[in-house]
Amino acid sequence: HRLHEFRFVIHSNDHDPAHVHLISGDGHEKVRLFGTKGEPEVERISGIPRHRLRRLVKEVLENREEFLKRWEEIHGKREEDEAKAE
């Protein structure tokens, strides 16, 4: 998945919880698909300006089903993620 210069990546050798990496020349962020309040949540911030990061998190929310489906294809389903998706 792409948005402008950003790539949204799920690594095959990654770990739970379900998340995507946002990668660009500006930096690399990690966004959990389900944060503590059930919304996507930035796990770490390294280089991407906050105003751009807000738009990227919105993009994760808008495409969360697609990202979760891909995560499950790679890593398998987890009951915790299934409950949050309902």
* Overall number of domains in the chain: 1
What pLDDT sits at residue 79? 55
DSSP annotation of 27? E
User: What is the C-alpha to C-alpha distance for residues 41 and 1, in angstroms, rounded to an integer?
Assistant: 18
CA proximity to 69, closest of 58, 61, 77:
77
User: What are the tens digits of pLDDT across the range 15-57?
Assistant: 999 999 999 887 899 999 999 999 999 987 787 888 888 999 9
Contact residues for 39 (Cβ-Cβ < 8 A; gap 6+) = 61
Domain that holds residue 46: 2-85
> How far is residue 37's CA from residue 43's CA, in Å, rounded to a whole number?
13
Three-state secondary structure call for residue 8? strand
Q: Among residues of the chain, what percentage have pLDDT more than 70?
A: 90
